[in-house]
């Protein structure tokens, strides 16, 4: 199938739904999300960037000044707002999918894609920008990353699709995402909300 046909089929089947990338910090959600949005002609948002812009401070500053609970509540509101504005591609911060409220919002308005990557790859990526990951700021970053991964992976597994984001190129990963998405849409059908609204 030609790429243009695949994109057309995906857009048609998506209807009003968004695409939401979930997974650990460093798995490639932002990079792959931007590429997928460009391919599909949809607006792209990063929940962390949107929260930082709304608060006019970095995520690290929000954590430091107000704590994780405050951040998570704001995160839930921002994600609900973005998903309510129509179809888009949205990359979530690593802990956002842990919220049952956020998962419910995503289930109603989007298709979720878990980008999976091994610990060594995640660590190599997140350590390129030290100081930007507040949950890794204390203690041994690898041990903390392992702890977070073990806690979060069973919840990430609730996502609609699981795609490996290992050591292949961003373009290859994006192509795999789009192929997996097309297959999922063929198996699960087009957006039923459009038919129900008629």
139: confidence class by pLDDT, cuts 50, 70, 90: low
Specify whether the CB–CB gap between 143 and 151 falls below 8 A. Answer: no
Phi, psi for residue 75 in degrees, rounded to 5: -60, -45
Check residue 157 and report its DSSP letter. T
Cα dihedral angle (81, 83, 87, 88), rounded to 10 degrees? Answer: 90
Tokens of 23: 């997974």
Mean of the per-residue pLDDT values for the chain?
A: 87
Residue 138 has pLDDT above 70, yes or no: no
Element housing 70 (H / E): helix 68-84
44-46: strand order across its sheet: 44-46, 89-91, 18-22, 110-116, 161-164
Distance of CA 154 to the CA centre of its chain: 16
Specify whether the CB–CB gap between 146 and 169 falls below 8 A. Answer: no
Top pLDDT among 88 and 197 is at: 88
What is the model's pTM?
0.88
Buried b (16+ CB within 10 A) or exposed e, 161-195: bebebeeeeeeebbbbbbebbbeebeeeeebeeee
42-76 pLDDT per residue, tens: 999 999 999 989 889 888 888 889 888 888 899 99
**First-last CA distance in the chain:** 31
| Nearest in space to 186 (alpha carbons), one of 178, 195, 176, 194 | 178
158-171 pLDDT per residue, tens: 999 999 987 788 99
Tell me the domain boundaries of the chain.
3-185
Which range among 38-47, 112-121, 142-151 has the greatest average pLDDT?
38-47
Residue 132 has pLDDT above 80, yes or no: no
pLDDT of residue 120: 83
Instruction: Output the CA–CA distances (angstroms, integers) from residue 49 to 73, 96, 193, 196, in the order listed.
Output: 15, 13, 29, 34
pLDDT of residue 143: 84
Tokens of 8: 């057309």
Residue 197 has pLDDT above 50, yes or no: no
Residue 134 has pLDDT above 80, yes or no: no
Specify whether the CB–CB gap between 89 and 18 falls below 8 A. Answer: yes
Top pLDDT among 117 and 167 is at: 117
Top pLDDT among 31 and 122 is at: 31
User: Topology of domain 3-185, per CATH?
Assistant: Rossmann fold (3.40.50)
pLDDT of residue 163: 95
Residue 195 has pLDDT above 80, yes or no: no
């Amino acid at each position: 199938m030609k790429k243009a046909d695949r994109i057309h089929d995906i857009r048609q089947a998506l209807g009003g739904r968004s695409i939401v990338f979930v997974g650990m910090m460093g798995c490639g959600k932002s990079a792959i999300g931007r590429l997928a949005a460009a391919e599909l002609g949809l607006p792209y948002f990063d929940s962390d960037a949107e929260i930082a812009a709304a608060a006019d401070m970095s995520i690290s500053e929000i954590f430091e000044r107000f704590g994780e609970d405050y951040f998570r509540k704001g995160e839930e509101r921002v994600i609900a707002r973005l998903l309510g504005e129509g179809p888009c591609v949205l990359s979530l911060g690593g802990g956002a999918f842990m919220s049952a409220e956020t998962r419910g919002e995503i289930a109603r308005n989007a298709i979720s894609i878990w980008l999976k990557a091994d610990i060594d790859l995640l660590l190599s990526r997140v350590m390129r920008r030290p100081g930007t990951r507040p949950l890794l700021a204390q203690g041994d970053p690898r041990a903390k990353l392992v702890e977070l991964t073990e806690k979060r992976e069973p919840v990430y597994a609730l996502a609609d699709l699981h795609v490996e984001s290992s050591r292949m190129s961003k373009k290859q990963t994006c192509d795999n995402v789009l192929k997996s998405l097309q297959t999922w849409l063929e198996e699960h059908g087009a957006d039923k909300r459009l038919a129900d609204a008629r």
